[in-house]
Amino acid sequence: MTESFGLSAVARAALLQRLAKRRGEETPTNPEAPPPESPGRDLRTLPGARDLALMREAGEALGIENPYFRPHQGVSGAHARIGNRDFLNFASYNYLGLNGDPRVSAAAKAAIDQFGTSASASRLASGERPDHARLEAALATLHRAETALTFVSGHATNVTVIGHLLGPRDLVLHDALAHNSIVEGARLSGARRIAFPHNDLAAAERELAAQRRRHGRALIVIEGHYSMDGDLPDLARFTALARRHDALLMVDEAHSLGVLGATGRGIAEQCGVDPAEVDIWMGTLSKTLSGCGGYIAGRRALVDVLRYSVPGFVYSVGLAPPLAAASLAALDLMLAEPERVTRLQHNATLFLRLAREAGFDTGTSAGLGIVPVILGSSIRAARMAAALFEQGINVQPILFPVVPERSARLRFFLSSEHSTAELARTVALMVAARDGQPG
């Protein structure tokens, strides 16, 4: 490989030399310094610690500020305030601008006044509140499902549900770009786990045909809207695939709700598929719905088992009442004001077109809410993010090893509240940053 982190072999060697020199300079020479930790207690040897240290050193050597964990001083959506500066923001999942909407905030405040800030126990014990049932009924209606169940974490929803429903005799088949929570749930279950190439139905079919008879249950897991690439699956063909092979189909709608479909109902509405064709709908409350948590919607036989046995629900505190109330209010507003979804999709389509016309690689994005700008190296992505930040644009770089080095990118999350002028200005600044970079 002639390049690493977007650098030529010569530049990479020079960078490594600088890092080696820096390590030498930082070697403690104080005779009173404490001795090094024994191998078993040396936390610098934890998995990932060395890679993290290298990335930090490389950033410092190249003069690139750490773009992560910057505190925001207020509600973040299409705009944000960071370090007492106002920014145009593309790093928020507040797709429809409902987080911070006075009506959503009022619902949360009313719930605090009545129930306090916590459910204070698992719902099975004594943490059940009326807003839990109301929210779950609304989510079930949204997905045309028999019932639904909410959890305190979106990530934990996938981990605990997949990990609980399947066992060592079973099979989990998932898209290669599936979210970490799906992969961790499959690992927890002990089931055989097979990842098929992204959105490759033919490959998924081959794997199922070869493996299905060797296992008890089979679960296919896909996402309705892939957050790294902004593209979609062919839902109708995946439902047919599941039926042909007697498999359950689970769809993660984390980045679909409020983004896909004419009224924001997600991938089923976008593709014109009967939601009943999907066995397990999973979604999050922290994005369009302005709360925090996750949910499962589906047949009553499934949800009843989860309600009384899945560890992440039975042994976890119930969803905080103000979060349940906020998410219910946001869901009601999404359905009552579909023009928000229309604006979001218009903005995403426009941004995608402008970026492509400017010569940027946007991969397979459908232009419905998420648009990656693939820059081909971590250094290039980090430098462009830093240059944009200086100009008042907040967008996060996605770097190796989260994505392959050649796929390092900036990831733009669009909002219904962005203006056409703001999107055009952003692309113009991207062009200036790209043309001003060496190499």
Going by pLDDT thresholds of 50, 70 and 90, the confidence category of residue 5 is: very low
- What does the alpha-carbon distance between residue 427 and residue 355 come to, in Å, rounded to a whole number? 6
Whether a cis peptide bond, with omega within 30° of 0, leads into 438 is no
**How many C-beta neighbours within 10 Å does residue 280 have?**
22
pLDDT of residue 400: 83
**Residue 255 annotated among the catalytic residues of the structure:** yes
155-176: per-residue pLDDT in tens? 999 999 999 999 999 999 999 9
38-58: per-residue pLDDT in tens? 878 888 888 888 877 877 877
- What does the alpha-carbon distance between residue 170 and residue 165 come to, in Å, rounded to a whole number? 10
Q: Pick the more confident residue, 60 or 47.
A: 47
- What does the alpha-carbon distance between residue 134 and residue 132 come to, in Å, rounded to a whole number? 6
Q: Please tell me whether residue 112 adopts helix, strand or coil conformation.
A: helix
Residue 45: what residue type? T
Residue 220: what residue type? I
Going by pLDDT thresholds of 50, 70 and 90, the confidence category of residue 29 is: low
Residue 2, pLDDT above cutoff 50: no
At the topology level, CATH places domain 79-92+338-436 in Aspartate Aminotransferase, domain 1 (3.90.1150)
pLDDT of residue 340: 98
389-404: per-residue pLDDT in tens? 999 999 999 988 888 8
Question: Of residues 174, 225, 287, 418, which has the active-site annotation?
Answer: 287
Question: Of residues 76, 92, 189, 227, which has the active-site annotation?
Answer: 227
pLDDT of residue 4: 46
Classify residue 369 as left (phi > 0), alpha (psi -120 to 50) or beta: left
**122 vs 160, 291, 316, 338, 379, CA distance in Å?**
15, 18, 5, 35, 46
Domain-wise residue ranges, the chain: 79-92+338-436, 102-336
- What does the alpha-carbon distance between residue 427 and residue 307 come to, in Å, rounded to a whole number? 47
List alpha helices for 118-153, DSSP H.
130-142
- What does the alpha-carbon distance between residue 171 and residue 189 come to, in Å, rounded to a whole number? 10
Residue 11, pLDDT above cutoff 60: no
On whether the CB atoms of residues 88 and 426 are closer than 8 A, the answer is yes
Question: Of residues 79, 155, 225, 255, which has the active-site annotation?
Answer: 255
Tokens 């008890």 belong to residue: 216
Chain centre distance of CA 137: 25
Tokens 């698992």 belong to residue: 122
pLDDT of residue 3: 42
**Residue 227 annotated among the catalytic residues of the structure:** yes
- What does the alpha-carbon distance between residue 141 and residue 40 come to, in Å, rounded to a whole number? 53
Residue 1, pLDDT above cutoff 50: no
205-218: per-residue pLDDT in tens? 999 999 999 999 99
At the topology level, CATH places domain 102-336 in Aspartate Aminotransferase; domain 2 (3.40.640)
Q: Work out the percent of the chain whose per-residue pLDDT is above 90.
A: 81
